[in-house]
Structure 1
Amino acid sequence: MFKVHCVGRQLSLGDLSCLLCALLGLVILVSLPVWSWLPAESWHDAQRTGQILIITLAISIGVVSGAFRWQPYFVVRPVRRAIAVIAMLGLCSAALAHQPHWALVEWVTFWGSLGLGWMVVVTHHRFKSEDADRVLLASGFLVCGLLSIKFMTTYLATILDATAPMDAWLLFSGFDNVRFFGQFSTLTLPLLAMPLLSGAWLGRFRYLVISVFVLWWVQAIASGTRGTWLGMAVAAVGLAFSGRAGRRWASMQMAGAASGLVACWILMDWLPSLMGLDVVRGPGDRLNASLSGREAIWRQAIEMIVHKPLLGFGPMHFADIANPIAAHPHQAWLQWASEWGVPSAILVSGVVSYALWAAFRRLTAWSQAIEEGPNLYHCLVAAVLASLTQGMVDGVLVMPYTETWLTIISGWLLAIHWQERMPRPDEAACAQSYFVIGVTFILSAATLCAILVRDYPTSWAQRRSQVYQNNQHFQPRFWVQGVIAKEVMPP
């Protein structure tokens, strides 16, 4: 077989193809919130397009590498069966939905994301795991660093101009709504502490890493995203009970939050006052206990659950019942139960609970053995826990960039979980199961690409026209205008 000598080892042509696809996927992932490479589209639609491309590249890696022929499942048999039942229930719900084609789009997004997560695990084990960790962590740092530079550049331009009030939300770019930035910051704040926990990762970039970490906390606070505070608080409390290393991580985050709070006060209060600038939509304006209209959409989701508890209204079909607030209920469990059905939501809750239990059992086992375990493992557990917590009050399972990073981080966590003891391929599983899994992943990627080809040429113009004609705001779901209802709710 043709081989290429690369980085001290022999890479086959298949390995080289996988590596190139993975690097291309990382380039897309990093660029999505930084550069508007689809200027005619909104950030949301560009990131959905990027998510589809990343999923397609990941499935392509599976095809080229033969991962769909005979690989470890990386999850225990009860979890595999639960996932299979969830998928079947979703297909049944989609078939009975009011608009089956849109329900199928949501289903293939879920299944394609599952394929992306699995391929992160496979690729992590196929190549040297330490190098994969460094590449993934560097990708997260690069996105946060570039967005921080854009934030500070905009801030300095606003301060120096001093002709109009400072709008805090306009300091953020890369997302259609500052709350979507908050979702991303919840996922990445736990990871940015990794180099600070392990001095071996710092080296000559110590002060740069510390600056990015503090500045990222400044932006998280300035965005006023309350879900970020909730998610980070739950993650800090959870890891504090997991052992000494978890308490070190929690202490690091508390120090970062305190430093970020002081810096945010200087940037958003003291300095504008010194320059005679008023600040609108500042972080203090979001410090309230209101639900910001969530009570109405939560009530709609509960009514949907009561009306169709078994299979729900169909994936994505919260958006099929028009309301003037949102195309999703801003609550992950209510969203899943109202659209996929209560049995499916219970199974998903069971799978997620089992995964978190297994992760915390590993953390406490290290603590009892007077071992800290990998610092990166603690950071990944915290990122997943914080994001899932925010999903209880926000649309974490809707926004494409958040979905993509949550999938990658979950796969990354699973890969490190099995790093010490690589699971063997399940001898009891038949070859047909691998074939079926591979075919469904490929069909999911192909369906997403078909939707992209169908909707992209006229997507932005049509969605903008629909919103303007009905005098409404954008309600993101699959696309930035995510309402799929035939009749649009009047404002």
Structure 2
Amino acid sequence: MTATQLKQPVGDIQRWLACGLVIIMGVLPLWPAGHKSAHDFQRAAECLILLAASFSLWWKPTCLPEYRSRSALAAASLVLLILMSCWHSRYTAAALQEVALWLGLLGWAWVCRQRAVAGDESTLLRAMAAAMAAYAATVLLLYLTSLMSGQLLDARGFMIGFSNPRFLNHVQTVAVPLLWVVAASDADKRWRALASGAAMAQIALTVLTLARATFLAWLVALIVLTLSRECRISRQGWTCLVSGLLGALLLFLALPSALDLTWRPSFASPTGLSSAHSRDLLWTAALDQFLQSPWLGQGPMHFAAQINPTAAHPHNVYLQLAAELGLPASLLVMGLMLMPLAQGLRCLYRATPSRPLLAGALAATMAALVDGAFSGNFVMPLSQLWIATAWGLMAGAVARCEPAAVPLRERRSWSLKHWAASLLLATQFGLCVTTAMQAAREPPRIRADSPVPPPGETYRPRFWLDGWI
């Protein structure tokens, strides 16, 4: 009786801490960034969220998953290769900073995984639905206010809270499939209605910004769900997608036309839909960097160490991993990431009853992977948090339908997890200290002598908005 009473408060505290972090993550775009850019503000907030998540794992290290010996060997090999890549890199401190960020995202994914394993994901999903609904309502309110004023309409101006509206699209890619889960399966019809409305509104905003990669990602995810015979989430997804498209036509085309208002072509225009936007040049640069060092890569974050006129990341996560980590480490990273995805698809295909969480989290993860082939969603702060959330929920949903791994002896298992959680906490504390020092610079940047663009020139984001190392 005593043990049960002691464990329950800890579980409750961890559940509400995770829920609070999701709410913070969701409302960050609506929070005033002060004199910092939205990107820099969100990066600093991301590091604090990851520190809180690592503290949660350190407080209760038994939340960390058990690993089979094959996975443990692959993970150990990956760690060794990444450390060798850092040592081989030009700026070792910057490379280690990127690795610490990755570890923090993995810790946050573990927190979300634990909530899914415990069957306690509904609180997190409702928090996501509320945050996405609040953002969509704010943007639509700004839009309607602009309509009533009769001013020239500016799509870019409505996408508040992001240094570039494309960063919003990266979040939408992952968040909308998770909204489908709430819309299709929540026990309360009010939450189902809220999530459905939020999904349709976010899809309409995606139409307004002409986000090609995001729509391609959703289409691929929905086709895979449909072929997997997961009708519940796929039906909800197709319904929201069509409704959002129709809503966008009515709100952003028919209504301004009826009021004799026009759009300012300052951000997205239909003529740009067939343009590569210099991605071919970035992919060529990433391939050249990979060929220069195919085994250890240039080092984590080090695509940003060679200045080019376009971007500090190659807009393709797969080429980025190859260029920065080398072929062996990038293959191990993708293998460890895709293993639960493959397990989840098998589980989804075999499942007789519908598994909404598994289907929605799989859709969100697949969408992120498709978007990652054309954008920088894996390097921007908020989309990183959303991707880690989706991956953690997917891994937890898979763990609920897969046979459990054979556990280590209890004392040995606790000791290993305790040391792993302590190391994670130490890296996240160090990351926050480093981030605070860098944020004090004007503008925030990795090194004091990092290249700074002259006045009037566009920043190239990576870790900070001034993304060059």
TM score, norm. by length of structure 1: 0.87
Q: Does structure 1 retain, via aligned residues, the 8 Å contact 2:133–2:195? A: no
Q: In structure 2, what is the equivalent of residue 379 of structure 1?
A: 360
In structure 1, what residue type is equivalent to 2:277? S
The match for 1:397 among 358, 378, 382 is 378
The match for 1:77 among 69, 73, 76 is 69
Q: In structure 2, what is the equivalent of residue 187 of structure 1?
A: 174
Q: Whole-Å Cα distance in 1 between the matches of residues 21 and 190 of structure 2?
A: 28
Q: In structure 1, what is the equivalent of residue 47 of structure 2?
A: 52
Q: What's the offset of the Cα at 1:293?
A: 0.7
Q: Does 1:329 align with 2:317?
A: no
Q: Does structure 1 retain, via aligned residues, the 8 Å contact 2:232–2:354? A: no
Q: What's the offset of the Cα at 1:475?
A: 0.8
Question: 5 Å matches for 1:254-293?
Answer: 254-281=238-265, 285=270, 288-293=273-278
Q: In structure 2, what is the equivalent of residue 160 of structure 1?
A: 148
Question: 5 Å matches for 1:123-138?
Answer: 123-125=115-117, 129=119, 132-138=120-126
Q: Does 1:62 align with 2:66?
A: no
In structure 2, what residue type is equivalent to 1:403? Q
Q: Whole-Å Cα distance in 1 between the matches of residues 80 and 358 of structure 2?
A: 32
**Runs of at least 5 residues in structure 1 that lack an aligned partner in the other structure:** 485-491
After TM superposition, the structure 1 stretch with the greater mean CA deviation from structure 2, 435-444 or 354-363, is: 435-444
Question: SS at the partner of 1:358?
Answer: helix
In structure 2, what residue type is equivalent to 1:178? P
Question: SS at the partner of 2:250?
Answer: helix
Q: Does structure 2 retain, via aligned residues, the 8 Å contact 1:18–1:64? A: no
Cα deviations by residue, 1:248-274 (Å, 9 ceiling, x for unpaired): 433332222222122111222221122
**Distance of aligned partners of 1:197 and 1:158 in 2 relative to their CA distance in 1, 3 Å threshold:** same
Q: Does 1:444 align with 2:430?
A: no
Q: Does structure 1 retain, via aligned residues, the 8 Å contact 2:286–2:320? A: yes
The match for 2:224 among 224, 235, 238 is 238
Q: Does structure 1 retain, via aligned residues, the 8 Å contact 2:133–2:194? A: no
Q: What's the offset of the Cα at 1:222?
A: 1.2
Question: 5 Å matches for 1:194-205?
Answer: 194-198=181-185, 201-205=187-191
Q: What's the offset of the Cα at 1:471?
A: 4.3
Q: Does structure 2 retain, via aligned residues, the 8 Å contact 1:327–1:475? A: yes
Question: SS at the partner of 1:398?
Answer: coil
After TM superposition, the structure 1 stretch with the greater mean CA deviation from structure 2, 284-293 or 254-263, is: 284-293
Q: Whole-Å Cα distance in 2 between the matches of residues 148 and 65 of structure 1?
A: 36
Q: Does 1:426 align with 2:411?
A: no
Cα deviations by residue, 1:76-108 (Å, 9 ceiling, x for unpaired): 432332222222211111111111110111111
In structure 1, what residue type is equivalent to 2:174? L
Q: Does structure 2 retain, via aligned residues, the 8 Å contact 1:34–1:143? A: no
Q: Does structure 1 retain, via aligned residues, the 8 Å contact 2:46–2:382? A: yes
Q: Whole-Å Cα distance in 2 between the matches of residues 410 and 204 of structure 1?
A: 27
Q: What's the offset of the Cα at 1:155?
A: 0.4
Q: Whole-Å Cα distance in 2 between the matches of residues 456 and 436 of structure 1?
A: 30
Q: Does structure 1 retain, via aligned residues, the 8 Å contact 2:183–2:194? A: no
**Runs of at least 5 residues in structure 2 that lack an aligned partner in the other structure:** none
Q: In structure 1, what is the equivalent of residue 437 of structure 2?
A: 454
Q: Does structure 2 retain, via aligned residues, the 8 Å contact 1:317–1:339? A: yes
Q: In structure 1, what is the equivalent of residue 103 of structure 2?
A: 111
Q: What's the offset of the Cα at 1:275?
A: 1.8
Q: Whole-Å Cα distance in 2 between the matches of residues 286 and 327 of structure 1?
A: 25
Cα deviations by residue, 1:154-182 (Å, 9 ceiling, x for unpaired): 1011111113x211121111211111111
Q: Does 1:216 align with 2:198?
A: no
Alpha-carbon RMSD across the aligned residues, in angstroms, is: 2.7
The match for 2:30 among 30, 34, 40 is 34
In structure 2, what residue type is equivalent to 1:357? A
Q: What's the offset of the Cα at 1:297?
A: 0.9
In structure 1, what residue type is equivalent to 2:241? A
Q: Does structure 1 retain, via aligned residues, the 8 Å contact 2:133–2:198? A: yes
**Distance of aligned partners of 1:26 and 1:189 in 2 relative to their CA distance in 1, 3 Å threshold:** closer
TM score, norm. by length of structure 2: 0.91
Q: What's the offset of the Cα at 1:14?
A: 4.4
The match for 2:234 among 228, 232, 250 is 250
In structure 2, what residue type is equivalent to 1:62? L
Q: What's the offset of the Cα at 1:12?
A: 5.9
The match for 1:299 among 284, 287, 290 is 284
Q: What's the offset of the Cα at 1:414?
A: 1.3
Cα deviations by residue, 1:399-440 (Å, 9 ceiling, x for unpaired): 011111111221112112222555453349955643542343
Q: In structure 1, what is the equivalent of residue 132 of structure 2?
A: 144
In structure 1, what residue type is equivalent to 2:21? G
Q: What's the offset of the Cα at 1:292?
A: 0.6
Question: SS at the partner of 1:458?
Answer: coil
Question: SS at the partner of 1:326?
Answer: coil
Q: Whole-Å Cα distance in 2 between the matches of residues 10 and 64 of structure 1?
A: 13
**Distance of aligned partners of 1:60 and 1:287 in 2 relative to their CA distance in 1, 3 Å threshold:** same
Cα deviations by residue, 1:320-375 (Å, 9 ceiling, x for unpaired): 00011100000011000100111111122222332221111101111xxxx13321
Q: Does structure 2 retain, via aligned residues, the 8 Å contact 1:474–1:481? A: yes
Q: Does structure 1 retain, via aligned residues, the 8 Å contact 2:46–2:381? A: yes
Figure out how many residues of one structure are paired with residues of the other and give that number: 464
Cα deviations by residue, 1:200-238 (Å, 9 ceiling, x for unpaired): 534245544432222121112112111111111111111
Q: In structure 1, what is the equivalent of residue 93 of structure 2?
A: 101
**Distance of aligned partners of 1:97 and 1:115 in 2 relative to their CA distance in 1, 3 Å threshold:** same
Q: Whole-Å Cα distance in 1 between the matches of residues 383 and 213 of structure 2?
A: 13
Q: What's the offset of the Cα at 1:376?
A: 1.6
What fraction of aligned residue pairs are identical, expressed as a percent?
25
